[in-house]
Chains A and B, each alone.
Chain A
Amino acid sequence: MRRFEVRVRPGLADPRAESLAREARAVGVAVERARVARVYLIHGALTDADADRVGASLLANPVLEDVTTGAGPIDEGSACLEVHPLPGVMDPPAQTVAAAVEELTGVPGVRASTGWRYDLAGVSPADARRLARRLLANPVIHAVHDGPHCPDEFPHAEPKPFRVTRVPVRDLDDEGLARLSREAHLFLSLDEMRAIREHFRDRGREPTDAELETLAQTWSEHCVHKTLKADIVYRGPADGIDWSGRPGHTALPDGSVRIENLLRSTVAAATHRLIEDGLDWALSVFVDNAGVIAFDDDLAVCVKVETHNHPSAIEPYGGAATGVGGCIRDIIGTGLAAKPIANTDVFCVAHPDSFDDDTLPAGCLAPRRILTQVVAGVRDYGNRMGVPTVSGGVFFDDRYVGNPLVFCGCVGVLPRDRIAGEARAGDLIVALGGRTGRDGIHGATFSSAELTDTHADEFAHAVQIGNPIEEKKLLDAILRARDAAGGPLYSAITDCGAGGFSSAVGEMGEALGAEVHLDRAPLKYNGLTYSEVWISEAQERMVLAVPPDRLDALRAICDEEHVELAVLGTFGTPDRELILRFHGEEVGRLGMAFLHDGLPRRTRDAVWPGAGHAPDGRDARPTGLSDDGRDARPTGLSDDGRDARPTGLSDDGRDARPTGLIQTGRDASVAGTLLALLAHPTIASKRWIVRQYDHEVQGATIVKPLVGPGGDGPGDATVIRPAPGSTRGLAISQGLDVSGGDPAAGGDPYLMALSAVDECVRNLVCVGADPSRIAILDNFCWPSCEKPENLAALVRAAEGCHDAAIAYRTPFISGKDSLNNQFTTEAGETIEIPPTLLITGVGIVPDIDRCVTMDLKGAPVAGESALLLATVDDDGEGSMPQRRARVAAAVHAAIRDGLILSAHDASEGGAGVAVAEMVLASGVGAEVSLDDPFAERPATYILEAADGPATAGALRRAGASARVVGRASAGLNGLTLITPGERAEVALEAMRRAFFGALDW
């Protein structure tokens, strides 16, 4: 074993060490000086000359770095720490180093591992260890050494003796079944365990461990969405939902409503109704790894958004990175493979300042660490994949402290004649990409469970580190195989995600059956059981169905791209069974029918207490948000005149609510409120995040996430050009309205869904997307739906999704739910997240030259431009969502006709904050009159136009309410806000300090 330390040459700047010292001081450890070294441990038959060559011409840059062989001395008064990956944890550079050393020296069989050495001057050993815990290492994946780590050997495992493990279930009583489910981490309900017991009683044998694991993976909430597909009985007030005429809904005599398969009867029903009604551009919905829509005559666009919440709670960097990697693989696994062209990311975390060492619940990581690490994870995976991360957001609420949310989205492009694939009997089951290890075992069942303070210990194996270079090679190889002359070299493809091979092969072989030889999977190391091979969620793997006569051609491409290929078995068995073998011996045999249709369907209870009737005890939760003003917030429902309107909902004017972000006491000045809102982390500039992402790789980012002359204005949506040279674009954005649906704050998830869809549409329309060509996706992140109130909240949100989709004619094309988002502390207190619905949307921009951005232009020619507020016409016809949708159409027409210089959606902080952001983005000043500047009013746009009255007239003719509220000019400084009682002049510099200073990490 040879050890090398590489560090920056003395006298040269060492940004990594300086940044470490800065961050250490921020967590209270005064580091006088830090030195950082990369450590390489290399094992192989290298001569001394080889080793010198490796050090000098591979590991170090002679201009910048010094290399030390062995362990350099520890300075007097310094603490020395080393951080190395735990055995079995992915160490991506290690593979590259080993291969490069072999190439440079010609010595075969080299193994390597990498770590970091920190020499911290002026730090006690105890403080050094604290620093390791807080900043440098996560015990889930790292080993921390109190000095240089020089092992003689790498840890290695012997092959395990093989024997088939059978698990007795036939004689278990209910208690025994429950215990087995819990202790084996199956996370199956008693009903489900009973169904398994009956099945094997019928078969007259006990299941193998692999069979039980297969069922647990396939039946997990994560994989099968059993809550959203369950039958639900909803009790409680309708609160504005008209139950009549909804597919799959039956009014029961006792006043409750029975909903058959919630997902099919709401979100999916809306899409299918729109398709029946003539919408012809939704090409593949809810059936593939991503939803697919037509982009133009030749190309299709596919979109998927996933969550990776539980892994990110325990290891934020790896959790977020593998979230990105997994979602990209979903896109690669759509149809016959799509090319990923954009990533999105949305995070929900606790306020960075709400917790300190004493108040942070045990088992939770500090919110700032979580946020910086998930950003780093998304950055490192997305940037290395060459997929631009173009759109996202961060929302802060303290109830996310133990269970942060990490939404990773991906958009892909593929030829329209490649949008469907199907495995055929006789096709080979081919695994491509990374090797299988013990990493990620039980990810699917883990993500379906609830987090507790001991999860980091129990589920360390579910956490993993991504290796983007492996996935990039995989992508390059697959796109070549897809576009091979003579047609694709495979007939179907899917990714290995949750459940690993078990889910991938189980899904692809559902109609055919499959026979799998688990000993043929390439392994990272010895010692895996067949069962571990089968359910490992090791990253960067795809499964293909390959006709035998195409295998050689596929193998040739994989060899060139350095992608490992393994033939695991064959699709198609006589009795449509899943047959697992290990070294020839049968280790599992399950009928596909039982695997996919044997899951007992439950009827679940949903109880809605009524909007504004939060059950007792909810207020006890830490929220971080102000309590003031909440009670005063209108519920969004009027008490009178409900029957007079089609939906029973109030006029939109009455939906306006004071912002929930900060306290807006009676004595707060307009200027003070504006600055406080601009500095609120949810609103404040996220440029420190966006600038770390390569959001322009592939060269197609036409409207960037940051806009304006300084490149720091928060754009509403990003526009990319999927087809080089085409004038068509694709806008990407999101809508999220957690506050509006928070039952603890008197919110209603039904209204939250309507408002999230509207916000998403507004964002897309503001850059030039055509609202009649917008497709959306749902991501429900909910606390436990075993609790009837939470399930009722889910029902209401799903009904809102349905109604919005119909009204806006925006089909849902894909979605994903994550339903056990709560954290139980050591003391037994359960912190539920607020129900969170993320709507992601993509919209076609018919002509990218008509794109507009939100930075004020100030009309240099005329010297001054008009600012308009466009919103819902309360007297217009139709339902409330329909009237909102009309505003979107009106704004789009005005943009298309060239009337609009800039456009911005008013959401958090209302129209006042929207105008302020337009000023901030451009430096152009504005003066506006607003009655209630910070009220969050739905369906509201701020528009800048050269000709105010003419533009207002055009908007009104198109069915929106519109009026000129002010003016913009480069001659004005900052923002002047005129309210009925006050004229507030806020200087640009003060606004900049608030907006850019708050989160300038």
Chain B
Amino acid sequence: MPAGPLALIIRTAGTNCDAELARAFEAAGARPSLVHIDRLIAEPARLDDADLIGFPGGFSYGDDIASGRVLAMKVRERLFGPLAAAVARGVPVIGVCNGFQVLTQAGLLPGPIGAAGAGRTEAPTPTVALAENIGARFIDAWLRVEYPPSACVWTRGLEDLDGASAVLPIAHGEGRFVADAGALDALDEGGQVAVRYVENANGSARAIAGICDPTGLVLGLMPHPERFADWRQHPSWTRLDRSCLAGPAPGLRFFRNAVEHAAAVRV
């Protein structure tokens, strides 16, 4: 069996969802590899080998100052160019929770990253942000979500999910999506809203849970699809018809979509 595409997972001090992100990639057929941000800054060429890139959740640098702020500063200052080049090569990128917060502050979302990304080394100024939850409190909950038609590679085919399948878990204190009306309209019109809350627990503008860049390759979202890679992670799976336990859980389908895409790009 040929080795699956390489999924490079970028971690740092305080990252804590890297193991489950790696498992989700692995379950979808990729070869996950964890790399510390400082190692990557020292050897940016490692990005050249990546077929997929993941920014996991957690509390990078304690989320001191603000969620993802310090990691985003490092990414923006040191790695923007190589990451933009990877996207230009067709590499799918996902940022979950803290990873989403990083992608928005590092200038990788909402994009466009530039003329196909290649060659651009300076990050654009952020136009969207994740702010403190409207209730000023950390929330761990499973919320009903919907997948609008979008350019996103990761959420392909999920538009039809409903009922027990159309849910995702959140766990964050700063996940309220904020942008001005112009930026929001651009996201809607450009098919960049990849996931929307049906239950908008954190007060996000237009109930936005996740967005992609115009190419659909870069997805950032506050919910954790990697925590729904198995039906036994569903909050009330003991009520469901147990026959569903064998099938792929919706979170896993994110990763299968991206791995399939990456495999196709690699060929």
Residues of A within 8 Å of B57, CB to CB, are 697
Contact with A along B44-72 (1 / 0, CB 8 A): 00000000000001110111111001100
Asked if B77 is an interface residue, CB under 8 A from chain A, the answer is yes
CB B232 to nearest CB in A, in angstroms, measures: 5
Residues of A within 8 Å of B15, CB to CB, are 386
Residues of B within 8 Å of A704, CB to CB, are 235
The answer to whether B125 touches A18, judged by C-beta atoms less than 8 angstroms apart, is no
The answer to whether B14 touches A384, judged by C-beta atoms less than 8 angstroms apart, is yes
CA of A855 to CA of B238 in the docked complex: distance in angstroms?
9
CB B34 to nearest CB in A, in angstroms, measures: 10
Residues of A within 8 Å of B161, CB to CB, are none
Chain A contacts with B in 62-112, Cβ cutoff 8 A = 62-64, 92-93, 95-97, 100, 103-104
The answer to whether A695 touches B140, judged by C-beta atoms less than 8 angstroms apart, is yes
B228 nearest CB neighbor, chain A only: A699
The answer to whether A852 touches B131, judged by C-beta atoms less than 8 angstroms apart, is no
Residues of A within 8 Å of B76, CB to CB, are 57
CB B38 to nearest CB in A, in angstroms, measures: 7
Q: Please tell me which one of the listed residues B137, B169, B245 contacts residue A692 in the complex, with CB atoms under 8 A apart.
A: B137
Asked if B200 is an interface residue, CB under 8 A from chain A, the answer is no
CA of A103 to CA of B14 in the docked complex: distance in angstroms?
18
A699 nearest CB neighbor, chain B only: B20
Q: Please tell me which one of the listed residues A8, A38, A694, A707 contacts residue B236 in the complex, with CB atoms under 8 A apart.
A: A707
The answer to whether A96 touches B242, judged by C-beta atoms less than 8 angstroms apart, is no
The answer to whether A97 touches B238, judged by C-beta atoms less than 8 angstroms apart, is no
CB A555 to nearest CB in B, in angstroms, measures: 16
- Given A13-B134, A62-B125, A96-B70, CB of A698 within 8 Å of CB of B19: yes
Contact with A along B17-49 (1 / 0, CB 8 A): 101100100000000000010110000000000
CB B25 to nearest CB in A, in angstroms, measures: 13
Asked if A468 is an interface residue, CB under 8 A from chain B, the answer is yes
Asked if A848 is an interface residue, CB under 8 A from chain B, the answer is yes
Residues of A within 8 Å of B16, CB to CB, are 384-386, 472, 697-698
CB A598 to nearest CB in B, in angstroms, measures: 43
CA of A18 to CA of B131 in the docked complex: distance in angstroms?
14
Residues of B within 8 Å of A696, CB to CB, are 140, 169, 171, 224, 227, 233
CB B165 to nearest CB in A, in angstroms, measures: 14
The answer to whether A57 touches B129, judged by C-beta atoms less than 8 angstroms apart, is no
CA of A15 to CA of B136 in the docked complex: distance in angstroms?
5
- Given A61-B69, A853-B238, CB of A469 within 8 Å of CB of B125: no
Q: Please tell me which one of the listed residues A18, A97, A476, A694 contacts residue B171 in the complex, with CB atoms under 8 A apart.
A: A694
Q: Please tell me which one of the listed residues A104, A711, A848 contacts residue B77 in the complex, with CB atoms under 8 A apart.
A: A104
Q: Please tell me which one of the listed residues A92, A560, A692 contacts residue B36 in the complex, with CB atoms under 8 A apart.
A: A560
Residues of A within 8 Å of B63, CB to CB, are 384
Q: Please tell me which one of the listed residues B74, B141, B179 contacts residue A63 in the complex, with CB atoms under 8 A apart.
A: B179
Asked if A562 is an interface residue, CB under 8 A from chain B, the answer is yes
Contact with A along B201-239 (1 / 0, CB 8 A): 001000000000000000000001011010011011011
B173 nearest CB neighbor, chain A only: A383
Q: Please tell me which one of the listed residues A12, A104, A702, A724 contacts residue B23 in the complex, with CB atoms under 8 A apart.
A: A724
Asked if B135 is an interface residue, CB under 8 A from chain A, the answer is yes
The answer to whether B236 touches A855, judged by C-beta atoms less than 8 angstroms apart, is yes
The answer to whether B138 touches A379, judged by C-beta atoms less than 8 angstroms apart, is yes
Asked if B127 is an interface residue, CB under 8 A from chain A, the answer is yes
The answer to whether A384 touches B59, judged by C-beta atoms less than 8 angstroms apart, is yes
Q: Please tell me which one of the listed residues B61, B125, B135 contacts residue A96 in the complex, with CB atoms under 8 A apart.
A: B61
- Given A703-B238, A851-B238, CB of A469 within 8 Å of CB of B59: yes
CB A230 to nearest CB in B, in angstroms, measures: 43
Asked if B13 is an interface residue, CB under 8 A from chain A, the answer is yes
CB B113 to nearest CB in A, in angstroms, measures: 18
CA of A857 to CA of B14 in the docked complex: distance in angstroms?
40
The answer to whether B133 touches A96, judged by C-beta atoms less than 8 angstroms apart, is no
CA of A38 to CA of B65 in the docked complex: distance in angstroms?
9
CA of A851 to CA of B235 in the docked complex: distance in angstroms?
13
Interface size (B, Cβ < 8 Å)?
A: 62
Asked if A613 is an interface residue, CB under 8 A from chain B, the answer is no
Most buried by B among A61, A104, A857: A61
- Given A15-B132, A379-B138, CB of A100 within 8 Å of CB of B61: yes
Contact with A along B95-121 (1 / 0, CB 8 A): 000000000010000000000000000
A104 nearest CB neighbor, chain B only: B73
Residues of B within 8 Å of A848, CB to CB, are 232
CB B238 to nearest CB in A, in angstroms, measures: 5
CA of A331 to CA of B15 in the docked complex: distance in angstroms?
20
CA of A383 to CA of B14 in the docked complex: distance in angstroms?
10
Most buried by A among B17, B74, B224, B232: B232
The answer to whether B70 touches A702, judged by C-beta atoms less than 8 angstroms apart, is no
Contact with A along B129-163 (1 / 0, CB 8 A): 10111111111111000000000000000000000
Asked if A19 is an interface residue, CB under 8 A from chain B, the answer is yes
The answer to whether A15 touches B135, judged by C-beta atoms less than 8 angstroms apart, is yes
Asked if B263 is an interface residue, CB under 8 A from chain A, the answer is no
CB B119 to nearest CB in A, in angstroms, measures: 22
CA of A562 to CA of B61 in the docked complex: distance in angstroms?
11
Asked if B178 is an interface residue, CB under 8 A from chain A, the answer is yes
A22 nearest CB neighbor, chain B only: B136
The answer to whether A692 touches B139, judged by C-beta atoms less than 8 angstroms apart, is yes
- Given A469-B13, A472-B13, CB of A711 within 8 Å of CB of B235: yes
The answer to whether A61 touches B66, judged by C-beta atoms less than 8 angstroms apart, is yes
CA of A702 to CA of B227 in the docked complex: distance in angstroms?
10
- Given A13-B131, A386-B58, CB of A701 within 8 Å of CB of B178: no
A704 nearest CB neighbor, chain B only: B235
Most buried by A among B69, B127, B142, B203: B69
Asked if A708 is an interface residue, CB under 8 A from chain B, the answer is yes
Most buried by B among A63, A64, A693: A63
Residues of A within 8 Å of B23, CB to CB, are 699, 724
Residues of B within 8 Å of A64, CB to CB, are 129, 131, 178
The answer to whether A93 touches B73, judged by C-beta atoms less than 8 angstroms apart, is no
Asked if B128 is an interface residue, CB under 8 A from chain A, the answer is yes
CA of A699 to CA of B13 in the docked complex: distance in angstroms?
19
CA of A730 to CA of B23 in the docked complex: distance in angstroms?
20
- Given A96-B65, A699-B233, CB of A852 within 8 Å of CB of B137: no
A724 nearest CB neighbor, chain B only: B23
Asked if B4 is an interface residue, CB under 8 A from chain A, the answer is no
The answer to whether A96 touches B62, judged by C-beta atoms less than 8 angstroms apart, is yes
- Given A100-B73, A469-B64, A694-B171, CB of A707 within 8 Å of CB of B131: no
CB B125 to nearest CB in A, in angstroms, measures: 6
A690 nearest CB neighbor, chain B only: B140
Chain A contacts with B in 1-54, Cβ cutoff 8 A = 8, 12-13, 15-16, 18-19, 38
The answer to whether B236 touches A691, judged by C-beta atoms less than 8 angstroms apart, is no
- Given A63-B126, A849-B242, CB of A100 within 8 Å of CB of B58: no
Residues of A within 8 Å of B142, CB to CB, are 711
Q: Please tell me which one of the listed residues B62, B227, B236, B239 contacts residue A699 in the complex, with CB atoms under 8 A apart.
A: B227
CB A465 to nearest CB in B, in angstroms, measures: 12
Asked if A987 is an interface residue, CB under 8 A from chain B, the answer is no
Residues of B within 8 Å of A383, CB to CB, are 59, 138, 171
B59 nearest CB neighbor, chain A only: A384
Contact with B along A378-410 (1 / 0, CB 8 A): 010001111000000000000000000000000
The answer to whether A711 touches B236, judged by C-beta atoms less than 8 angstroms apart, is yes
A701 nearest CB neighbor, chain B only: B233
Residues of B within 8 Å of A386, CB to CB, are 15-17, 58-59
The answer to whether A699 touches B229, judged by C-beta atoms less than 8 angstroms apart, is yes
Q: List 27 A-B contacts (CB under 8 A).
A: A12-B131, A13-B203, A57-B73, A57-B76, A63-B126, A64-B129, A92-B62, A93-B62, A96-B70, A383-B59, A384-B59, A469-B64, A472-B13, A561-B36, A562-B13, A691-B140, A692-B139, A696-B224, A696-B227, A697-B171, A699-B20, A708-B239, A721-B232, A848-B232, A851-B238, A853-B238, A857-B239
Q: Which 10 A-B pairs have the closest CB atoms?
A: A386-B16, A469-B62, A699-B20, A93-B64, A63-B129, A96-B64, A15-B136, A19-B136, A694-B171, A853-B238
A sample of 5 more A-B contacts (CB under 8 A), given A472-B13, A561-B13, A702-B232, is A15-B132, A63-B127, A697-B16, A698-B17, A702-B233
